[in-house]
């Protein structure tokens, strides 16, 4: 929307000044000083802002000198952009490309930023790899100025018989404890020829790992990690099952 639109219907080209826009396919909204419509599949913006927040919110936004959205490729290209969080510029780059459609694309995901007295500045930059329609992998280096770098790994898969998620986070050396630390999780489900399998396995290197590195209030309140396995078989006239329930108590190592 804007105060004035100049548009040629035959060629589907036009321009607007002082625009407020909303791109529903990705929940994007923002403003731009100038918008040019090259066709029904290409839009160019100058001095634009981008955000997924509600209009008027200052939680986060991106500013770009130029932004081009291509609806055929479902990709956007930004030049001379900067990321702002709560009004503070956090990072910038001369060029970036990101998806604007619903299809998964390999590349950088939205970084997260935090600060705490025990971790210091906490920055995580997820890198996503769309291996196949039913497989993907995310590598997340997480820098904590007081603790070191956690190397986060997440693999997800799904096929006709099985689906699951594998995560493994590894800190080569904690600056505070001078030890390597890790967290592992396996969540898997499977079914084949009457057999059903469920795995919920969680393990950490020490009892303080969750409280030291979790950013989730619910997780930090946990004092036991489940390590459960279940296998069952259902025939025409009978059913049997085997369950193993274990856990890892998060005892205070001090």
Rounded Cα distance, 57 and 68, in Å: 23
**Which of these, 115, 118, 137, lies nearest to 126 by C-alpha position?**
137
Residue pLDDT, tens place only, 158-180: 999 999 999 999 999 999 999 99
pLDDT at 252 over 70: no
Residue 130 vs residues 53, 78, 173: alpha-carbon distances, Å: 26, 22, 30
Rounded Cα distance, 213 and 140, in Å: 14
Residue pLDDT, tens place only, 68-114: 988 888 788 899 989 888 888 887 889 888 777 677 788 888 788 88
Mean pLDDT of 48-68: 87
φ, ψ (nearest 5 deg) of residue 111:
-65, 160
* Better-predicted residue by pLDDT, 120 or 251: 120
Mean pLDDT of 41-53: 90
* Better-predicted residue by pLDDT, 153 or 250: 153
pLDDT at 54 over 60: yes
- 40 CB burial (10 A radius; 0-12, 13-18, 19+): exposed
For the beta sheet containing 42-50, the strands, ordered from the edge strand earlier in sequence to the opposite edge, are 5-8, 13-23, 28-39, 42-50, 60-70, 75-85, 88-99
Rounded Cα distance, 29 and 79, in Å: 18
Q: CB atoms < 10 A from the CB of 41, how many?
A: 12
**Which of these, 17, 53, 56, 55, lies nearest to 37 by C-alpha position?**
17
Q: What is the pTM of this model?
A: 0.69
Do the Cβ atoms of 232 and 240 come closer than 8 Å?
yes
Mean pLDDT of 56-71: 88
Tally the C-alpha atoms within 13 A of residue 202's C-alpha that lie toward its C-beta.
15
Rounded Cα distance, 4 and 11, in Å: 19
Residue 211 vs residues 14, 58, 150, 252: alpha-carbon distances, Å: 55, 30, 15, 10
């Amino acid at each position: 929307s804007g105060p004035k639109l100049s548009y040629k219907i035959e060629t589907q080209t036009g321009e607007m000044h002082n625009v407020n826009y909303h791109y529903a396919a990705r929940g994007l909204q923002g403003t731009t000083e100038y918008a040019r419509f090259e066709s029904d599949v290409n839009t160019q913006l100058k001095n634009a802002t981008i955000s997924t927040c509600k209009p008027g919110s200052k939680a986060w936004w991106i500013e770009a000198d130029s932004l081009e959205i291509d609806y055929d490729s479902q990709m956007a290209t930004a030049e001379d952009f900067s990321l702002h969080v709560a009004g503070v510029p956090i990072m910038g780059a001369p060029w970036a490309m990101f998806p604007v459609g619903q299809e998964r694309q390999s590349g950088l995901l939205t970084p997260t930023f935090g600060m705490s007295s025990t971790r210091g500045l906490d920055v995580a930059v997820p890198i996503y790899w769309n291996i196949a329609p039913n497989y993907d992998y995310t590598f997340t280096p997480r820098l904590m100025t007081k603790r070191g770098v956690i190397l986060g790994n997440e693999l997800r898969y799904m096929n006709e018989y099985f689906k699951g998620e594998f995560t493994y986070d590894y800190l080569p050396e904690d600056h505070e404890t001078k030890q390597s630390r890790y967290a592992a999780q396996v969540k898997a489900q499977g079914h084949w020829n009457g057999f059903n399998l469920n795995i919920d396995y969680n393990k950490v290197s020490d009892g303080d790992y969750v409280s030291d590195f979790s950013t989730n209030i619910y997780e930090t309140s946990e004092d036991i990690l489940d390590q459960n396995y279940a296998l069952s078989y259902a025939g025409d006239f009978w059913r049997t099952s085997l369950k193993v329930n274990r856990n890892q108590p998060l005892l205070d190592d001090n």
